[in-house]
């Protein structure tokens, strides 16, 4: 049974959706003011493992993710660049999803942009005003935290001393600045704005997520996730806005992933200690190795990023690929071995149990490596039969449905073709130097792989049988 650490209760809890098998899950998406860094992608890879695990367990998942395409940062940066907000954010939204695909993160079922959901947001503000949980001041609308006694229940902070009616206007702030936060910002020169009955202006960041998550996932979501930095104030404010408006539990399971750090400090744009995915692929690192590295530590533990870590992840990937490759090519005797059936069953069980345990990807990776070692030993001892091969591959397929680290079918075919072409070249070279034995050996090897050679005056051509 799946168990998740719920930030709200501070405990590990068995996961049960409100209306099984349906699961509504919302994650805070990127603020598209710049290229995302791989710290951001640690969080999105975690969410990918979460969504794939839920689907593998048979849940009917609706995964919703927003794009914050209007907030303090996007407005300020587009203005500084002299570009319209829409054009500016479009560029970084496209870049974000390119990186998403490169990292093999499955796209959410619903991707919603803040600027396309203004009516949902203004409706929510109106309800909060009607219920006495919000007030207008200097043309902006604020949430009155003193009117919501449960404020602080997610971040477990005590805000008693702060409930003075003082206000905070910026989207991002710390605990020391916790005040009545802005829901709707009054119109300012040079900022986009929308007309409403409570004043023209634009949404604050926190409002966006409450309005969009409930628009698609309903009043009560099964899961809401994000990075640990979003617990306060963002998610605390989302709870206040949503529960304040509906009177219902907003989210049943809150999941937060820990930071990717560099030399003990959170990777972030503001400190400048970051790598984008492009920085790393330009240096020749394989994005799948980066994916593997990002899932190599349990999501609630900090992960220290180094390029050496990427190289180690690549070495681990190479071992896995070699294992699968070797197993596919090997000539095996007919039949199966009882011991191999047990081994495959045990590996599948261990893999599932690791993910059941609050998505312990590190333990799941360990299960995979122990399995590879055990099967290799049996291969060497001649104790793996043709029927066992299918069982081993079934486990590998099950693992890859969640990890997604094996070469894609197209990649695998291209790799195999490149391999064949290289052997054909070697054989031509052997023939040129009259090394007939070597040329014949290569021809036989290719024949065993179903490749037919034809020597022509223009060189050797090959085709698959
Ligand atoms: P942003 O685009 O800044 O809103 O961030 C997108 C996601 O990345 C959020 O869920 C953040 O909590 C998360 N995030 C930001 N920095 C890091 C980091 N260093 N490690 C892990 N997650 C992060
Ligand atoms: Zn959010």
Write down which residue in 271, 304, 320 finishes a domain: 271
Ligand 1 atom nearest 226 alpha carbon: 10
pLDDT at 176 > cutoff 70? no
206 lines ligand 1 (CB under 6 A): no
Domain that holds residue 26: 17-131+147-159+204-271
Write down which residue in 271, 295, 313 finishes a domain: 271
Nearest alpha-carbon partner for 368 in 306, 295, 418: 295
Same domain, 418 and 447: yes
89 lines ligand 1 (CB under 6 A): no
Same domain, 442 and 391: no
Write down which residue in 369, 403, 437 finishes a domain: 403
Same domain, 23 and 155: yes
Percent share of the chain, pLDDT over 90: 83
CB within 5 A of ion ligand 2: which residues? 28, 209
Residue of 227, 255, 273 with the most ligand 1 atoms within 8 Å of its CB, for mutation: 227
Mean per-residue pLDDT for 422-432? 89
Nearest alpha-carbon partner for 23 in 63, 66, 65: 63
Total-model pTM: 0.89
Same domain, 371 and 237: no
pLDDT tens-digit profile of 326-371? 999 999 999 999 899 999 999 999 999 999 999 999 999 999 999 9
34 lines ligand 1 (CB under 6 A): no
Mean per-residue pLDDT for 54-75? 97
Mean per-residue pLDDT for 159-168? 71
Q: Determine the pLDDT at residue 162.
A: 63
Contacts of 270 (CB under 8 A, 6+ apart): none
pLDDT tens-digit profile of 433-451? 999 999 998 988 888 888 8
In this structure, is residue 288 part of a structural domain? no
| Beta-sheet strand order (sheet of 303-304) | 265-266, 260-262, 303-304
Q: How far apart are CA 327 and CA 329, in angstroms?
A: 6
pLDDT tens-digit profile of 75-130? 999 999 999 999 999 999 999 999 999 999 999 999 999 999 999 999 999 999 99
Nearest ligand for residue 36 CA: 1
In this structure, is residue 5 part of a structural domain? no
In this structure, is residue 1 part of a structural domain? no
Contact between residue 267 and residue 248 where contact means Cβ atoms under 8 Å apart: no
Same domain, 344 and 447: no
In this structure, is residue 50 part of a structural domain? yes
pLDDT at 40 > cutoff 80? yes
In this structure, is residue 343 part of a structural domain? yes
227 lines ligand 1 (CB under 6 A): yes
Domain CATH for 49: 3.40.50.620
| Beta-sheet strand order (sheet of 221-227) | 110-113, 60-67, 22-27, 221-227, 251-257
Distance 29 CA to ligand 1 centre (A): 9
Q: What is the mean pLDDT of the chain?
A: 94
SS3 call for 193: coil
Mean per-residue pLDDT for 130-147? 95
Report how far apart the first and last C-alpha atoms of the chain are (Å, whole number).
47
Q: What are phi and psi of 270, to 5 degrees?
A: -70, -35
Same domain, 45 and 114: yes
Same domain, 100 and 213: yes
In this structure, is residue 437 part of a structural domain? yes
Same domain, 226 and 257: yes
Distance 103 CA to ligand 2 centre (A): 22
In this structure, is residue 388 part of a structural domain? yes
In this structure, is residue 109 part of a structural domain? yes
Cα 275 to its chain centre, rounded Å, is 17
Ligand 1 atom nearest 40 alpha carbon: 8
Distance 77 CA to ligand 1 centre (A): 18
Nearest ligand for residue 203 CA: 2
pLDDT at 414 > cutoff 80? no
Question: Which residue's alpha carbon is nearest to atom 20 within ligand 1?
Answer: 259
Ligand 1 atom nearest 261 alpha carbon: 19
Q: Determine the pLDDT at residue 164.
A: 62
Q: Determine the pLDDT at residue 226.
A: 98
Same domain, 368 and 260: no
Q: Determine the pLDDT at residue 447.
A: 85
Q: H or E segment at 447?
A: helix 436-448
Distance 397 CA to ligand 1 centre (A): 30
Name the domain count of the chain: 3
Nearest alpha-carbon partner for 251 in 3, 11, 17: 17
Q: H or E segment at 122?
A: helix 118-130
Nearest ligand for residue 206 CA: 2
The mean-pLDDT minimum among 286-290, 292-296, 412-416, 425-429 falls in: 412-416
Same domain, 83 and 122: yes
| Distance set, CA 303 to CA 197, 224, 279, 313, 362 (Å) | 47, 22, 19, 13, 12
Same domain, 76 and 44: yes
266 lines ligand 1 (CB under 6 A): yes
Question: Which residue's alpha carbon is nearest to atom 23 within ligand 1?
Answer: 40
28 lines ligand 1 (CB under 6 A): yes
39 lines ligand 1 (CB under 6 A): yes
Contact between residue 333 and residue 386 where contact means Cβ atoms under 8 Å apart: yes
- Selection from 104-118, 138-152, 173-187 with the highest mean pLDDT: 104-118
Same domain, 151 and 88: yes
Cα 269 to its chain centre, rounded Å, is 19
Distance 459 CA to ligand 2 centre (A): 61
Ligand 1 atom nearest 258 alpha carbon: 21
Q: Determine the pLDDT at residue 13.
A: 98
pLDDT-derived band of residue 173, with 50, 70 and 90 as boundaries?
A: confident
SS3 call for 140: strand
């Amino acid at each position: 049974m799946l168990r998740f650490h719920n930030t709200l209760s501070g405990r590990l809890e068995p996961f049960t959706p409100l209306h099984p098998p349906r699961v509504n899950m919302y994650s805070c998406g990127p603020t598209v003011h710049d290229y995302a860094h791989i710290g951001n992608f640690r969080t999105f890879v975690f969410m990918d493992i979460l969504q794939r695990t839920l689907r593998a367990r048979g849940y009917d998942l609706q995964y919703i993710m927003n794009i914050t395409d209007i907030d303090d940062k996007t407005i300020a940066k587009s203005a500084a660049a002299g570009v319209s907000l829409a054009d500016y954010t479009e560029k970084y939204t496209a870049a974000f999803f390119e990186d998403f695909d490169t990292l093999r993160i499955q796209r959410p079922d619903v991707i919603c942009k803040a600027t396309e959901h203004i009516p949902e947001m203004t409706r929510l503000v109106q309800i909060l005003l009607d219920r006495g949980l919000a007030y207008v001041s200097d043309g902006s609308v604020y949430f009155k935290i003193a009117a919501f006694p449960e404020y602080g229940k997610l971040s477990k902070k005590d805000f008693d001393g702060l409930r003075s009616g003082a206000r905070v206007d910026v989207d991002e702030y710390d605990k020391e600045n916790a005040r009545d936060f802005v829901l709707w910002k009054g119109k300012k020169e040079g900022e986009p704005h929308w007309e409403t009955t409570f004043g023209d202006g634009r949404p604050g960041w926190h409002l966006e997520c409450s309005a969009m998550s409930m628009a698609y996932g309903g009043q009560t979501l099964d899961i809401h996730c994000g990075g640990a930095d979003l617990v306060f104030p963002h998610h605390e404010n989302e709870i206040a806005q949503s529960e304040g408006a509906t009177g219902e539990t907003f989210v049943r399971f809150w999941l937060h992933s820990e930071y990717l750090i560099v030399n003990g400090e959170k990777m972030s744009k503001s400190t400048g200690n970051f790598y984008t995915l492009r920085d790393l692929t330009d240096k020749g690192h394989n994005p799948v190795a980066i994916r593997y590295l990002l899932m190599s530590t349990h999501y609630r533990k900090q992960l220290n990023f180094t390029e050496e870590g990427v190289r180690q992840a690549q070495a681990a990937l190479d071992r896995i690929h070699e294992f699968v490759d070797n197993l596919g090519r090997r000539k095996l005797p007919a039949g199966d071995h009882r011991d191999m059936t047990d081994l495959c069953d045990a590996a599948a069980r261990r893999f599932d149990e690791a993910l059941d345990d609050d998505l312990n990807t590190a333990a799941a990776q360990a299960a995979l490596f122990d399995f590879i070692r055990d099967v290799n030993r049996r291969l060497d001892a001649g104790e793996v039969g043709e029927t066992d091969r299918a069982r081993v591959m079934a486990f590998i397929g099950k693992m890859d449905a969640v990890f997604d680290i094996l070469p894609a079918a197209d990649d695998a075919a291209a790799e195999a073709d490149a391999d064949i072409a290289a052997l054909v070249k070697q054989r031509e070279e052997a023939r040129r130097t009259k090394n007939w034995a070597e040329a014949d050996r290569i021809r036989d090897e290719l024949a065993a792989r179903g490749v037919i050679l034809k020597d022509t005056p223009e060189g050797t051509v090959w085709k698959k049988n």
